[in-house]
Chain A
Amino acid sequence: MRKNLNVIAAYSIMMGLIVLVGIFQSWNIALSIFNLCLISAVMTMGANIQWGYAGLINFGIMGFTALGGLAAVLISVNPVQEAWSAGGTNILLSLFLIIGIVLAVRFVLKKYQKSKIRNYVIGAIIISGIIIIRFVSEPGIEAIEEVNPARTGFLGGLGLPIIFSWIVGAFFAGGLAFVIGKVALGLRADYLAIATLLISEIVIAIIKHEDWLTRGVKNVIGLKRPAPYEVNLQETEWFINLVEKFNSGKLALISDLSERQAALNQFVIEGSSVFVKLCYSGLFLVVVIILLILTQKALYSPWGRMMRAIRDNEEAANAMGKNVVKQHLLIFVLGSAIVGIAGAMLVTQDGLFTPGSYRPLRYTFLIWVMVIVGGSGNNFGAILGGFVVWFLWIEAAPIGLYLVNLTTAGLEDTHFLKVHLIESVPYFRFLMMGIGLLLIMRYRPKGILPEKIEIK
């Protein structure tokens, strides 16, 4: 118990802060911060597995998040029949062609010795394949994008409940990670960082511009929800009764019947959105707890010890007969898959998929700040980092505003400096993140909750 005191203290302070936001700002804001904290926590767990357990730098978190989001779209949206009949065959044909190309390249790679001619043959296969695919897919893509472009203009998805997409998102991200890992894991640490950063940009470019698949920058809105809709809740008998029971004290103070009804309606409207957010919190919490149990088990298993051995001394681990390349690939895929889950959760919560919103600062570097600040190698630390950093990221603007008002209290309200500073309050979050990261790296390089390994 004593040993875990700092963990408990850190988490209680964090929850206390969120509760304070609930009391002083509103429960709605507090819960939306809490939900995004949970999603960030899942992302940091993924990054922490790669960085903390194995020392792999993955700056491609944005790409895996977006793939998870894509999974949410492809699973939950109803299929657009017209689009399928217009261009579905062409797309399927192209898909088979891609598989054919991959198989052909693999065949050539396996069958023939390494030589110049082999390289040229592979190049020829790929280039001619791409040209054929373009000719096959172009009419299909055009036909699909012409089907009711204002509302659909894409193939749609499978029409399944969106919860399934969390698993599928993991598979998507894991699959991409497998390909990237095969290609890039042999690189030195900083090369790997740059390569993954650039590959994630390519992923985003594809998601943004392949309208037939994702609607691109036109966004997909109104995704299905695993939670009830506010409008339906507001008309449900048991929910109104519940809200009435909760607020009976306040309602009793109002004597006038019609005023009381109006107040109740107000409470129901507020309560419904809080209730929906609570549903999400419950779902997300389940995911976080399952992942936490699994990652903790993994960390203290023989496999976890092997991973740490590889991280701390690759050559020694190699000499002990551990397959470093294979383990690196495995952990890269696992970590990325967890990030994919988070991406799907994020889109599920928002109810919309906006490819234009994926930016490296928010989805890659911020997640890294979370891992470093929280404590790499320690799952509790990584989750805490997700909570702390996301909380500051949201609350930086109010805090910044307060600081600006405090420091410029002597100036008049119309003074140009004060106006300018108040206008630029949103950017104080960058400043806060940067300074926070630098301070932690300097004075507590292992994070708020450092990694500690107990030999059990």
Chain B
Amino acid sequence: MDFLNALILLLNYIFVPALAYGSQLAIGAIFVTLIYGILRFANFATGDMMSFGTMVAILFTWYFQSIGLSLGFLPTALLAIPFAILFMGLYMLVIDKFVFKYYRLNKSPPVQLAMVSIGVMFVTQAVVRIIIGPSDRRFFDGEKFLIRANDFKEMTGLNEGLAIKSTQVITIIVTIILVSTLFWFLNKTKTGKSMRAYSDNEDLALLSGIDPKKIVMITWMIAAILATIGGVLYGLDKSFKPFTYFNNMLPIFAAAIVGGIGNPFGAFLGGYVIAFSEILLTYAYKKFFMYLLPENMEPNGLIQLLSTDYKFAVSFSILVIVLLYRPSGIFKGKIL
């Protein structure tokens, strides 16, 4: 019984939250990796592009709520996602046309493109803050829990409850669908294959008749889908605040590099590596050991490896270690 309790405790406080958070990071990391692999620069506007997409989704959610449209027990924001993606794609294309295209055609070094993306970051941040303001916003509606802690306790008779938020389940399901479609697209369709060819060797791809304009456009479109969905899922699960989204760029970068930048599958796994290590290292295991160990051996400290203040620092330290020992990431990077 105690063993089961301990297991449920870990599930409730570590496994489920880490899985949801990891999925959100994974989507962001794939976004970074795609841009890096095909457009060949580190996009420092990642977090802000995600916040832009989320902002549009929130505006649509408010509109739908005002006309009384809803999805029942599901959050209305899911209905707003397709519209938000359209806007986001438009925004991405506008940015590409007026900003990135010039440098791409001039074959500027990646560093210059990264600098330009900082300019885009500033502008996007300003646009988001001017339109929706810098404050914290929750836009979740519908059923909050799939399983409540108390219901679970009654059902199983255990001491520990397992609470599963519906947003966590939505996050995981959407991520599975999105990522598997993306991998199917990249590996099986002709366009996907040409994208991978373009990422691998630009000149050879051009020689074999691949249209770079089309590749770039499709990349931005996929990026728009990823950025919007990733942002909305994070916002549903936690809350929407432009500053947090800007900060999320850092663990997302860490995830992309840990997995091997340029490699979508690596980025996908990198998200979970970062999320799990952040939560595993900063969780206080006192209660867990109280269940497992006999009473007289109960720990008196919190048994916490690191205080929760260092949550971000954990992922960055992992990144530094990976960069030191395997600069190309866990999976060899730079092949899409």
Contacts and interface: CB of A to CB of B under 8 A. Distances in A.
A230 interface: no
Interface residues of A, number: 41
Interface string A188-221: 0111011101110110011011000000000000
A183 B320 contact: yes
A368 interface: yes
Contacts of B127: 431
B137 interface: no
B151 to A, nearest CB: 37
B312 interface: yes
A131 to B, nearest CB: 10
B82 interface: no
A202 B316 CA distance: 7
B126 A427 contact: yes
Nearest to B242: A427
Nearest to B118: A365
Given A184-B323, A199-B320, A205-B312, A190 B111 contact: yes
B246 interface: yes
A369 interface: yes
A307 interface: no
Contacts, number: 120
B116 A191 contact: no
Interface string A123-142: 00000000000000000000
A430 B129 contact: yes
B250 A201 contact: yes
Nearest to B324: A183
B116 A438 contact: yes
A117 to B, nearest CB: 16
Contacts of B119: 434-435, 437-438, 441
A197 B320 contact: no
Nearest to B131: A424
Contacts of A430: 122-123, 125-126, 129
Interface string B292-322: 0000000000000001011011001101100
Interface string A412-456: 000000000101100111110111011001100100000000000
B240 interface: no
Interface in A354-379: 361, 365, 368-369, 372
A340 to B, nearest CB: 21
A133 to B, nearest CB: 13
B120 A189 contact: no
Secondary structure call for the B interface: helix
Interface centre among A57, A368, A441 (most CB of B within 10 A): A441
Contacts of B41: 190
A445 B102 CA distance: 12
A39 B286 CA distance: 48
A187 interface: yes
B99 interface: yes
Given A202-B313, A209-B309, A191 B323 contact: yes
Contacts of B17: none
A201 B229 CA distance: 27
Greatest chain B CB density within 10 A among A194, A201, A431, A433 is at A194
Interface in A98-115: none
Contacts of A369: 118, 122
A214 B127 CA distance: 36
Contact of A206 (B44, B114, B123, B313): B313
Contacts of B130: 421, 424, 427-428, 431
Given A191-B323, A438-B123, A441-B116, 9 more contacts: A187-B327, A189-B109, A193-B111, A195-B323, A205-B313, A208-B309, A365-B44, A434-B120, A434-B123
Interface of A: 57, 183-184, 186-187, 189-191, 193-195, 197-199, 201-202, 205-206, 208-209, 361, 365, 368-369, 372, 421, 423-424, 427-431, 433-435, 437-438, 441-442, 445
